Chain A
Amino acid sequence: MTNPTVTVPAAPVPPGRRADRRRGSRTLHSGFYPYLFIAPAAVCFLSFMAIPIVYAIWVSFRTVKVSGLGLGSGSRTEVWAGLANYSAVLSDPEFLASARRALAYGAVLVPVMLGLALLFALLLDSRRARARTFSRLAIFLPYAVPAVISSVLWGFLYLRGTSPVHWLAAKAQVVLPDALSPDLVLFAIANIGIWGGTGFNMIVLYTPLKAIPSELYEAATLDGASEFQIATRIKIPMVLPSLIMTLVFSVIATLQVFAEPMTLRPMTNGISSTWSPLMKIYRDAFVQNDIYTASAGSIIVALATFVISFGFLRLVRGQAFAQESR
């Protein structure tokens, strides 16, 4: 997973806290001070977020026109391009292939990662599990390993010469396919993401579980609920808001996959220089020196991300309302 800074959802407020919150939300009025407090953040926001976005949008509508033979300083002029860069990106087979790969990668990574995260969170919360502290720390540990290094480790574990799985297969005289071959590399990269992201999401889902009062379980047990029923009827609905937010953030992160395939590239021929949308945009900008197409490409990826995440949030909100009105 690439961008873990944004992965924790705001879970619902338990009723007991509401009074606190109302009291705390009383605010002060004193003209100048609040601006002083937000000034550094506002300056950073303008410089490193607002201005770059506006600039990217502007550049995405521009292009370079070469006059004459394209020699000399006056022969290259920047002109208005309208939507030409956008239509160029959207009709570029390399970009479309990279977008399909990113979607397939997300379709493999996100359900498996969040499914495992939820399973481990529920198991950690079960009274019947042993070695819980050890498991929690071990499963969380990969979060300390940045994507580049996890790709190095897994890359060697995939290589025929250093993979223990290939070693076992050789002992059994079976020839396994190469995990980094073009057909399988998507799963190989998804596995790196699953390895890196499961533990963090597990902690995010485990946190609201710990907040459920144990009286609730005792009452459910007295009513004859099994542990499995408690998990599906009480625990999963309680973590659902967290689950939805981790899902949105995971989707945003997977569409931006970059570090893992870039790191693995020297170890295989299975990853082209335009494997993921970001790799394609990087190549446009820094290898082809075409910042105009690259800007249009990044805005398309950003818009697609917004459409998918907001669309999904709308969808689940509709379902949540439907459930409430029942």
Chain B
Amino acid sequence: MSIVSPSTPSARSSASGPSSAPRLERRSGGMSNKPSILTTGILLIGAAYCLFPVLWVVIASTKSSSELFSTFTLAPSVHLFENIGDLFAYRDGLFLRWGWNTVLYAVGGAAVSTFVSAAAGYGLAKYDFRGKQLFFSAILAGVLLPAVILAIPQYLLFAKIGLTDTYWAVFLPSILSPYGIYLSRIYAGAAVPTEMIEAARTDGAGDVRIFWQFGIPMMLPGLVTIFLFQFVGIWNNYMLPYIMLGDDGLFPITVGLSTLLNQGSSQPAMYTTVITGSLVAILPLIALFFVLQRYWQVDLAAGATKG
């Protein structure tokens, strides 16, 4: 994960033979590898800046609402479990419901979106057909299209068919991901050999089965990346659910927390709930990012270089 240095023949031989010592010395003398305080220091300052708000929310979640504004902001207290209990007890577990809704929108939406993108990208990469250029150009335009132009007409059209204020209002628009289709075309073009499809056809397999049995597994690492992008996109999208939903039982966590924050000015105790809710909401996400971090690395590189 650190430096990319493909083991060159000279490096390999220098590591094995007894004559390696002088060579190694020359290498380290040529390209300075000695630690630099400045370089490391700047990186650590950046890391501290990025971690600080997270550290703060961890500490603030341990405070009672009276301590929040009265004790030093970085002084921890002992009320964490009390606060978590209050959070989950708020209006009969509304927060848990928001969490479940978020999973439904973000995980469910991203999964369906990834599948739709995979099929479309595979079709674009592996087949020639009338209208292919037109379809792909439309998708590319969609990549650069600001979402703002969509939110209001989507709401108006959904209102006409009675879909606003339902799960579908947030779920359905999240399925389309022009960028996912674009990436998927790149992955399919690079990972699925046309010869393989032809060979499988000769063996009597249908095109759909070939896609399902060979295409998807070959594209899988790329599909994980598409899934992650779409997942973050839905999880981050505040405007769509904010516009579409009125019933707070359908809210995702983000919209729910922002409504709680709105009540904070009249009920200061709500601030503690918002803070604890923020912590509980981001912890699983941060854990997920650490577990899946190699997909942000390897496949971004793969997607870029295999283009």
Given contacts A153-B278, A203-B296, contact A59 B73 (CB under 8 A): no
User: Contact at B157–A152, with CB atoms within 8 Å?
Assistant: no
Q: A50-B138, A157-B56, A211-B4 are in contact. Are A282 and B43 (CB under 8 A)?
A: no
Point out the residues of chain B lying under 8 angstroms from A44, CB to CB.
116, 172, 175-176
| A interface footprint on B14-43 (CB within 8 Å = 1, 0 otherwise) | 000000000000000011111110011011
| Residue B81 is within 8 A (CB to CB) of chain A in the complex | no
Q: Would you give the shortest CB distance from B33 to chain A, in whole angstroms? A: 5
A286 to B243, CA, bound (A): 8
- CB contacts (< 8 Å) of B265 on chain A: these are 266
CB neighbors of A among B250-289 (8 A): 254-255, 257-258, 261-262, 264-265, 271, 274-275, 278, 281-282, 285-286, 288-289
Count, chain B residues at interface, CB 8 A: 129
Within 8 A of A (CB), among B115-140: 115-117, 119-120, 122-129, 132, 135, 138-139
Are A162 and B69 within 8 A (Cβ)? yes
Asked if B179 is an interface residue, CB under 8 A from chain A, the answer is: yes
Tell me whether A256 and B148 are in contact (CB under 8 A).
yes
**Nearest B residue (CB) for A301:** B148
Give which listed residue, A5, A23, A153, A291, contacts B152 with CB less than 8 A: A291
- Give the Cβ gap from A196 to chain B, nearest Cβ, in Å: 9
B51 touches A141 (CB 8 A): yes
Would B43 and A123 count as touching, CB distance under 8 A?
yes
Q: How far is the CA of A199 from the CA of B51 in the complex (A)?
A: 12
**Distance of A203 Cα from B232 Cα, bound (Å):** 15
| CB closest residue in chain A, given B259 | A266
A69 sits at the interface (CB 8 A): no
B307 and A120 form a contact (CB under 8 A): no
Question: A126-B36, A259-B239 in contact; A137/B3 too (CB < 8 A)?
Answer: no
> 0/1 per residue, B51-66, Cβ < 8 Å to A?
1111011001000000
Provide the residues of chain B in CB contact with A156, threshold 8 Å: 56, 60, 271, 275
Q: Give residues 303-324 of A contacting B (CB, 8 Å).
A: 305-306, 309
- In chain A, what residue has the closest Cβ to B139? A45
Residues of B within 8 A of A134 (CB): 47
Given contacts A140-B296, A263-B258, A266-B264, A128 and B33 within 8 Å (CB-CB): yes
- The answer to the question of A173 belonging to the interface, with a C-beta cut-off of 8 Å to chain B, is no
Number of chain A residues whose Cβ lies closer than 8 Å to a Cβ of chain B? 131
Q: CB distance A10 to B190 under 8 Å?
A: no
Task: Report how far A215 CA is from B301 CA in the complex, Å.
Answer: 19
Residue of B nearest to A122 (CB): B39
Give chain B nearest CB distance to A276 CB in angstroms.
10
CB distance from B153 to the nearest CB of A (A): 4
Task: Knowing that A8-B229, A21-B189, A153-B57 touch, tell me 12 more A-B residue pairs with CB under 8 angstroms.
Answer: A8-B303, A20-B306, A27-B126, A29-B127, A33-B127, A33-B208, A53-B150, A128-B32, A132-B43, A133-B1, A143-B289, A302-B148
Binding site for A on B (CB under 8 A): 1-6, 8, 30-36, 39-40, 42-44, 46-54, 56-57, 60, 68-69, 72-74, 115-117, 119-120, 122-129, 132, 135, 138-139, 142-157, 172-173, 175-181, 183, 186, 189-190, 193-194, 197-198, 207-208, 211, 229-230, 232-233, 235-239, 242-243, 254-255, 257-258, 261-262, 264-265, 271, 274-275, 278, 281-282, 285-286, 288-290, 293, 296-297, 300-301, 303-307
